[in-house]
């Protein structure tokens, strides 16, 4: 049950990060998802990323919609405020939260039903507004909590557990995010933590909308032969375009890669991404080339993963709106209320 | 010869125009010039859901007594739109006047024998003076204002001054407008019989009053109430509220040192997103609002239930229009009471405020943010098109500089550090309102999970029935607390003891005040109670208990206020008699007096004593 707290004791020699926190300080309640659920691996990757980046857990806010994926914020970062909102509407709630306090880190956790079906509009608009957030879709192609109906990301021809094939075209959220102007778009696989953790870290440090489509197999309803979102299928068809090491500014950059095979990208905040190219000519700064590559991979039955698009100079919503540097929720009467004298002048203009 | 209506500073003039013809600013100029002469006016725009081409009307009631409601009937019609000619002529009171463009001859059958006909070749005059077609159209409006100034004895200096103010900075435009004004005025003085039986005379009845629409005032109230975030989706008649907020913020909320904004405004993709953003911002400690109308309220239902159940502050301005569905988008009604009071599925109840005019719209807008924080729940400010989009003459807005925002029960880092017990849904002092923490407050304490599912007092997920009931009952207790925090009703005693009473709210107020005066003059005594908030104060039920017959006057078909009164107070429905106006036009004093008079007789009660006839 989600309200069962984990025991607080831990091994005395458990490693601590620069803030003195251990892994355990980034954990949440015990998961109530099915054993083997891909979503739990994603939660573990978020915990790992936050630990390694030395984030203060209480400076993170976790928001979600409705569904299995949206339950997961309970299972990581127990010292962070969380908000399990309504189905498909996490992006709006996150946008408002972000504008109220620009100083926190915002995780938007959603699923394929939540973001590609009921919430497609809000997904699109939060991306095009460049809300500073890490938007993670835990993508399994089915509705888990209502027992296995197809979602809008299910591939055409993919079979349900009962053997029925999906006849509709799939929505590729990563492609859409690139189209809509996200500054950071990646695809990962819950079964590949080595790839996923650096992607999440880089997404956290990115300024603006960072979108992560994480294929996360549903062991209960979509992990059978004939499914294109099963562990087996994704492992066999995973086509990573790059692999990355992520470094925050304070870390020394140690490059020991073969010359020409690595691209270093410095983000707005000074953090550096070392990208090892795996797919020859893939250019992650070229929007239309990225979309073409993903689409061709899809036609060939491949699941294209890695950091798919990056604009290191992206501008976030606060910058677009020209808001003050201090969080809006910290402003008081003196900064907000114009006062009686101003009102008297206003009155005079209306006579 | 028709009889002739006469009256000084007491008449109704109506302009019938074509939307998009530039008449609005000329008509406003006309109305303001009368105010500048110290004579109160009440104006109403009657406009279509259209940008160009459809009929639009502007009604100016000149009232020395300062009545702000619609009177009903028209004394002087200015029919500038052939499309609506017949209906416009029919609306004139017997003995009234029509002032029309006589460039093209109009057959006598298109008039009425019982009205006074004043023709002036407006088109001919402007066509002779100007060559540019747009200029002809715009200045024709000023020409008729000039003619009317002669017919109604309006001081041309007041108009000239207003033109000067209007075109300040575009000084090039002042002279042509002055010229057009005098072109019309001179023609009228020379060729027409001036002034008419109805006319304006300098008075001192306006004082320091201001002329402002409710949406503008409410938006300024949001600035004074400390709102830093607004999300909205364009919808008539609320859009001008959000746009006014933007304007006020640019003026009053830009940090002078950095040039950066102490506000954020998002025009969202729909109303669902608008309210979602507001809830997110308010959850995170910013004062946030949305402005919408009935259809938007329908779309926001699910989120409103979340805000109720998860207890998140939010302010919603509902500028009501004619429903249901798309309804009458540019007409007024008070028909969203039930959809707001019980918004969302399951058992919900929401707090509503009922401003009567732009001044109260300002005050209640600012108050709404205090109430939202204090009660941690959505607060609906129930405006309507009549209040929101019509300028009204009201006392100046006031503000007490000693006032501070009431942020409600927010547990701080210091309180958490001191070890204060924090349960997000724990009622520690019996008012049903728990403490909340804002995200990011304390490294180790005070974090909790906000959800729309059932939870216990410490915000832990639970499906236990007793835990659910405990929480739902506390929400009722909180609602009972709200009863004492919303603005109290206004009880107006009649001069003599009355057995009948009348309950009303919102934009019905100006018409009701006038109707009560009329009743008094007739020797009919009625006590009156103006409801200003929901949940209802006990006073509402005292008032009902103290009267044999109680009329509930409102502007919707289904008697929504009456429904709330009956059900929330367990009142015998037969005690409350409905008076309903729901054709989309603002209710009039005439309508109220007529309806109540009939029902007083029909019910065969004599709750009033006729004054003894004069000897």
Query: In the predicted model, is pLDDT for residue A261 greater than 80?
Result: no
Residue in chain B lying closest to A118 (CA): B272
Residue B260 sits at the chain A interface (C-beta within 8 Å): yes
Closest CA to B437 of B429, B425, B428, B453: B425
Question: Interhelix angle for B589-602 vs B509-522, to 10°?
Answer: 50
Residue A96 sits at the chain B interface (C-beta within 8 Å): yes
Q: Per residue in B221-240, pLDDT tens?
A: 999 999 999 999 999 999 99
Query: In the predicted model, is pLDDT for residue A257 greater than 70?
Result: no
Domain annotation covers residue A5 = no
Query: In the predicted model, is pLDDT for residue B420 greater than 90?
Result: yes
Closest CA to B598 of B577, B612, B575, B574: B577
8 Å CB contact between A208 and A316 = yes
- Whether B31 and B136 map to the same domain: the answer is yes
Question: What whole-number distance in Å separates Cα of residue B200 and Cα of residue B216?
Answer: 29
Tokens 């000897």 sit at which residue? B615
Which string of DSSP letters, residue by residue, matches A64-82?
E-SSHHHHGGGGB-TTSEE
**Where is the domain boundary, B435, B469, B485?**
B485
Domain annotation covers residue B143 = yes
Closest CA to B514 of B5, B112, B24, B65: B65
- Whether B521 and B575 map to the same domain: the answer is yes
| β A149-150/A184-189 pair status | unpaired
Query: In the predicted model, is pLDDT for residue B11 greater than 80?
Result: yes
A325/B258 Cβ within 8 A: yes
Rg (CA), chain B: 27
Residue B168 sits at the chain A interface (C-beta within 8 Å): no
Query: DSSP H helical segments within chain A, as ranges?
Result: 38-52, 68-71, 90-100, 112, 120-128, 173-179, 193-205, 231-237, 287-299, 317-321, 333-336, 340-348
Residue A121 sits at the chain B interface (C-beta within 8 Å): yes
8 Å CB contact between B208 and B202 = no
Which letter, b or e, does each residue of B165-190 get, where b requires 16 or more Cβ atoms within 10 Å of its Cβ? ebbeeeeeebebbbebbbbbbebbbe
Predicted pLDDT at B333? 98
Residue A100 sits at the chain B interface (C-beta within 8 Å): yes
Domain annotation covers residue B206 = no
Predicted pLDDT at A251? 56
Count of domains forming chain B: 4
Domain annotation covers residue A2 = no
Q: What is the end-to-end Cα distance of chain A in Å, rounded?
A: 65
Residue in chain B lying closest to A62 (CA): B449
C-alpha neighbours within 13 Å on the C-beta side of residue B407: 19
Highest mean pLDDT among A119-128, A263-272, B47-56: A119-128
Domain annotation covers residue B83 = yes
In this structure, chain A runs to a length of 351
8 Å CB contact between B476 and B309 = no
8 Å CB contact between A24 and B444 = no
**Which of A2, A62, A93 has the highest number of chain B CBs within 10 A, making it the mutation to test binding with B?**
A93
Q: How far is CA B110 from CA A302, B123, B174, in A?
A: 78, 19, 37
Domain annotation covers residue A12 = no
Average pLDDT over residues B262-273: 98
Predicted pLDDT at A249? 61
In CATH, what number is assigned to the domain containing residue B122?
A: 3.40.920.10
- Whether B528 and B460 map to the same domain: the answer is no
Query: In the predicted model, is pLDDT for residue A253 greater than 50?
Result: no
Cis peptide before B405 (omega within 30 of 0): no
Q: Per residue in B564-614, pLDDT tens?
A: 999 999 999 999 999 999 999 999 999 999 999 999 865 544 444 444 444
Which residues of A fall within a CB distance of 8 Å from B307? Answer: none
**Where is the domain boundary, B171, B199, B227?**
B199
Domain annotation covers residue B327 = yes
Rg (CA), chain A: 21
- Whether B135 and B224 map to the same domain: the answer is no
B396/A328 Cβ within 8 A: no
Tokens 């004599």 sit at which residue? B606
Domain annotation covers residue B558 = yes
Query: Six-digit token pair at B492?
Result: 């107006």
Predicted pLDDT at B76? 98
Distance of CA B301 to the CA centre of its chain: 23
C-alpha neighbours within 13 Å on the C-beta side of residue B472: 12
Query: Six-digit token pair at B180?
Result: 């057009």
Which string of DSSP letters, residue by residue, matches A196-219?
HHHHHHHHHHSSSEEEEEEE---T
8 Å CB contact between B494 and B320 = no
Domain annotation covers residue A109 = yes
Residue in chain A lying closest to B32 (CA): A351
Give me the residues of B, 225-244, that contact A with CB < 8 A: 226, 228-229, 231
Question: Phi and psi of B526, rounded to 5°?
Answer: -135, 130
Closest CA to B381 of B369, B391, B390, B399: B369
Residue A63 sits at the chain B interface (C-beta within 8 Å): yes
Average pLDDT over residues A28-56: 95
B303/A122 Cβ within 8 A: no
Residue A339 sits at the chain B interface (C-beta within 8 Å): yes
Query: Six-digit token pair at B614?
Result: 């004069």
Query: In the predicted model, is pLDDT for residue A259 greater than 60?
Result: no
8 Å CB contact between A42 and A72 = yes
pLDDT band per the 50, 70, 90 thresholds, residue A255: very low
**Where is the domain boundary, B456, B485, B514?**
B485
Question: Phi and psi of B76, rounded to 5°?
Answer: -135, 120
Domain annotation covers residue B401 = no
Query: In the predicted model, is pLDDT for residue A294 greater than 50?
Result: yes
Question: What whole-number distance in Å separates Cα of residue B596 and Cα of residue B581?
Answer: 12
Residue A185 sits at the chain B interface (C-beta within 8 Å): no
Q: How far is CA B339 from CA A125, A315, A350, B393, in A?
A: 28, 40, 35, 30
8 Å CB contact between B69 and B42 = yes
Beta bridge partners of A82: A62, B449
- Percent of chain A having pLDDT more than 90? 79
- Whether B314 and B385 map to the same domain: the answer is yes
Domain annotation covers residue A3 = no
C-alpha neighbours within 13 Å on the C-beta side of residue B292: 28
Tokens 């870290």 sit at which residue? A201
Q: Per residue in B79-130, pLDDT tens?
A: 999 999 999 999 999 999 999 999 999 999 999 999 999 999 999 999 999 9
Predicted pLDDT at B502? 98
- For the purposes of burial, counting CB atoms within 10 Å of the CB of B96, is it exposed (0-12), middle (13-18) or buried (19 or more)? buried
**Other CB atoms within 10 Å distance of the CB of residue B560:** 22
User: Coil, strand, or helix at residue B374?
Assistant: helix
A96/B279 Cβ within 8 A: yes
Q: Which domain holds residue B184?
A: 7-199
User: Coil, strand, or helix at residue B67?
Assistant: coil
pLDDT band per the 50, 70, 90 thresholds, residue A2: very low
Q: Per residue in A200-245, pLDDT tens?
A: 999 999 999 999 999 999 999 999 999 999 999 999 999 999 988 8
Residue B416 sits at the chain A interface (C-beta within 8 Å): no
- Whether B423 and B479 map to the same domain: the answer is yes
8 Å CB contact between A22 and A78 = no
Interface A-B: count of C-beta contacts within 8 A = 229
Residue B309 sits at the chain A interface (C-beta within 8 Å): no
**Other CB atoms within 10 Å distance of the CB of residue B429:** 9
- Whether B97 and B238 map to the same domain: the answer is no
- Whether B387 and B417 map to the same domain: the answer is no
In this structure, chain B runs to a length of 615
Predicted pLDDT at A278? 81
- Whether B153 and B233 map to the same domain: the answer is no
The set of residues, in sequence order, having a beta carbon less than 8 Å from that of B615 and lying 6+ positions away, is: none
Residue A346 sits at the chain B interface (C-beta within 8 Å): yes
Domain annotation covers residue A78 = yes
Q: Which domain holds residue A255?
A: 23-347
Distance of CA B194 to the CA centre of its chain: 37
8 Å CB contact between B306 and A84 = no
A336/B253 Cβ within 8 A: yes
Domain annotation covers residue A7 = no
Predicted pLDDT at B607? 47
Residue B451 sits at the chain A interface (C-beta within 8 Å): yes
Q: Which residue has the higher pLDDT, B3 or A131?
A: A131
- Whether B504 and B557 map to the same domain: the answer is yes
**Other CB atoms within 10 Å distance of the CB of residue B57:** 23
Q: Chain A closest CA to B258's CA: distance in Å?
A: 8
Q: Per residue in A45-88, pLDDT tens?
A: 999 999 999 999 999 999 999 999 999 999 999 999 999 999 99
User: Coil, strand, or helix at residue B252?
Assistant: helix
Give me the residues of B, 276-305, that contact A with CB < 8 A: 276-286, 288, 302-303
Which residues of A fall within a CB distance of 8 Å from B232? Answer: none
| β B490-492/A105-111 pair status | unpaired
Question: What whole-number distance in Å separates Cα of residue B32 and Cα of residue B144?
Answer: 15
Query: Six-digit token pair at B508?
Result: 């019905």
Predicted pLDDT at B610? 47
Q: Which helix (H) or strand (E) holds B156?
A: helix B156-166
- Whether B518 and B592 map to the same domain: the answer is yes
Q: Per residue in A154-181, pLDDT tens?
A: 999 999 888 899 999 999 999 999 999 9
Query: In the predicted model, is pLDDT for residue A256 greater than 80?
Result: no
8 Å CB contact between B294 and B339 = yes
Which string of DSSP letters, residue by residue, matches A270-285?
S-EEEEEE-STT--TT
Q: Which residue has the higher pLDDT, B359 or A8?
A: B359
In CATH, what number is assigned to the domain containing residue A177?
A: 3.40.50.970
Predicted pLDDT at B51? 80
Count of domains forming chain A: 1
User: Where does residue A66 fall: left (phi above 0), alpha (psi -120 to 50 degrees), or beta otherwise?
Assistant: beta
- Whether B502 and B573 map to the same domain: the answer is yes
């Amino acid at each position: 049950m989600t309200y069962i707290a984990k025991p607080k004791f831990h091994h005395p020699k458990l490693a601590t990060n620069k803030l003195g926190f251990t892994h355990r300080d980034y954990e949440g309640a015990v998961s109530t998802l099915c054993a083997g659920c891909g979503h739990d691996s994603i939660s573990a990757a978020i915990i790992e990323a936050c630990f390694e980046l030395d984030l203060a857990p209480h400076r993170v806010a976790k928001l979600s919609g409705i569904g299995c994926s949206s339950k997961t914020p309970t299972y990581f970062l127990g010292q962070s405020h969380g908000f399990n909102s309504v189905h498909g509407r996490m992006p709006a709630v996150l946008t408002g939260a972000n504008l109220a306090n620009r100083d926190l880190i915002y995780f938007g956790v959603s699923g394929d039903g939540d973001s590609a079906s009921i919430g497609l509009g809000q997904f699109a608009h939060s991306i095009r507004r460049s809300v500073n957030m890490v938007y993670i879709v835990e993508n399994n192609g089915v509705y888990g909590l209502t027992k296995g109906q197809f979602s809008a990301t299910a591939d055409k021809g993919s079979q349900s557990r009962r053997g029925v094939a999906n006849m509709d075209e799939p929505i590729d959220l990563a492609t859409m995010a690139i189209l809509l102007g996200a500054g950071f778009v990646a695809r990962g696989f819950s079964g590949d933590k080595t790839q996923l953790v650096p992607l999440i870290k880089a997404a956290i440090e990115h300024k603006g909308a960072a979108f992560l489509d994480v294929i996360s197999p549903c062991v209960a309803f979509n992990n059978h032969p004939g499914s294109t979102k099963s562990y087996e299928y994704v492992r066999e068809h995973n086509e990573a375009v790059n692999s990355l090491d992520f470094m925050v500014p304070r870390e020394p950059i140690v490059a020991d890669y073969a010359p020409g095979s690595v691209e270093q990208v410095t983000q707005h905040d000074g953090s550096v991404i070392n990208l090892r190219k795996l797919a020859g000519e893939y250019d992650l700064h070229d929007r239309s080339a990225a979309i073409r590559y993903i689409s061709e991979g899809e036609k060939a039955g491949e699941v294209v993963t890695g950091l798919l698009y990056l604009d290191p100079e992206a501008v976030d919503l606060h910058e677009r709106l020209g808001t003050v540097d201090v969080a809006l929720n910290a402003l008081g009467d003196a900064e907000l209320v114009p006062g009686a004298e101003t009102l008297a002048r206003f009155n005079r203009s209306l006579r | 010869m028709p009889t002739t209506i006469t009256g000084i500073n007491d008449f109704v003039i109506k302009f019938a125009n074509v939307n998009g013809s530039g008449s609005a600013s000329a008509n406003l100029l006309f109305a303001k010039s009368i105010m500048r002469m110290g004579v109160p006016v009440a104006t109403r725009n009657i406009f279509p859901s259209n940008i160009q081409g459809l009929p639009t009307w502007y009604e100016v009631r000149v009232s020395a007594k300062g009545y702000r409601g619609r009177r009903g009937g028209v004394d002087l019609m200015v029919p500038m739109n052939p499309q609506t000619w017949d209906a416009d002529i029919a609306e004139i009171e017997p003995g009234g006047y029509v002032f029309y463009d006589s460039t093209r001859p109009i057959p006598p059958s298109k008039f009425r024998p019982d009205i006074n006909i004043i023709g002036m070749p407006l088109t001919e005059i402007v066509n002779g003076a100007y060559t540019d077609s747009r200029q002809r159209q715009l200045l024709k409006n000023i020409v008729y204002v000039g003619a009317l100034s002669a017919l109604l004895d309006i001081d041309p200096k007041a108009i000239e001054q207003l033109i000067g103010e209007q075109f300040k900075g575009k000084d090039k435009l002042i002279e042509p407008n002055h010229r057009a004004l005098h072109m019309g005025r001179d023609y009228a003085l020379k060729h027409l019989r001036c002034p008419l039986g109805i006319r304006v005379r300098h008075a001192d009845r306006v004082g320091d009053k201001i002329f402002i629409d409710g949406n503008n005032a409410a938006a300024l109230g949001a600035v004074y109430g400390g709102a830093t975030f607004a999300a909205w989706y364009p919808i008539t008649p609320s859009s001008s509220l959000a746009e006014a907020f933007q304007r006020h913020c640019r003026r009053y909320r830009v940090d002078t040192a950095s040039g950066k904004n102490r506000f954020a405004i998002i025009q969202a993709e729909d109303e669902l997103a608008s309210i979602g953003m507001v809830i997110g911002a308010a959850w995170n400690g910013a004062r946030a609002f949305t402005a919408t109308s009935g259809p938007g309220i329908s779309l926001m239902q699910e989120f409103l239930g979340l805000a109720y159940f998860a207890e998140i502050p939010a302010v919603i301005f509902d500028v009501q229009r004619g429903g249901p569905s798309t309804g009458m988008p540019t007409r007024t009604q008070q028909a969203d009471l039930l959809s707001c009071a019980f918004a969302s599925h399951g058992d919900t109840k929401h707090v509503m405020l009922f401003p009567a005019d732009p001044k109260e719209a300002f005050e209640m807008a600012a108050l709404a943010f205090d109430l939202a924080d204090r009660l941690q729940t959505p607060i609906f400010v129930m405006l309507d098109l009549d209040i929101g989009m019509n300028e009204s003459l009201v006392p100046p807005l006031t503000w007490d500089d000693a006032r501070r925002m009431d942020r409600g029960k927010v547990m701080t880092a210091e309180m958490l550090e001191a070890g204060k017990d924090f349960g997000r849904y724990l009622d520690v002092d019996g008012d049903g309102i728990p403490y909340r923490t804002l995200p990011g407050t304390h490294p180790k304490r005070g974090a909790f999970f906000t959800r729309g599912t059932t939870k216990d007092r410490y915000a832990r997920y639970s499906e236990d029935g007793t835990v659910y009931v405990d929480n739902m009952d506390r929400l009722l207790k909180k609602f009972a607390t709200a009863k004492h925090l919303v603005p109290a009703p206004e009880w107006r005693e009649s001069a003599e003891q009355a057995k009948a009473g009348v309950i009303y709210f919102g934009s019905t107020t100006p018409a009701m005040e006038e109707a009560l005066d009329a009743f008094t003059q007739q020797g009919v005594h009625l006590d009156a109670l103006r409801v200003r908030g929901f949940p209802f104060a006990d006073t509402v039920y005292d008032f009902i208990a103290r009267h044999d017959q109680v009329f509930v006057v409102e502007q919707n078909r289904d008697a929504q206020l009456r429904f709330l009164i009956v059900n929330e107070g367990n009142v015998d429905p037969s005690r409350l008699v409905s008076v309903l106006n729901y054709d989309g036009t603002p209710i009039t004093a005439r309508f109220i007096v007529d309806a109540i008079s009939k029902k007083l007789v029909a019910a065969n009660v004599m709750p009033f004593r006729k004054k003894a006839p004069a000897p």
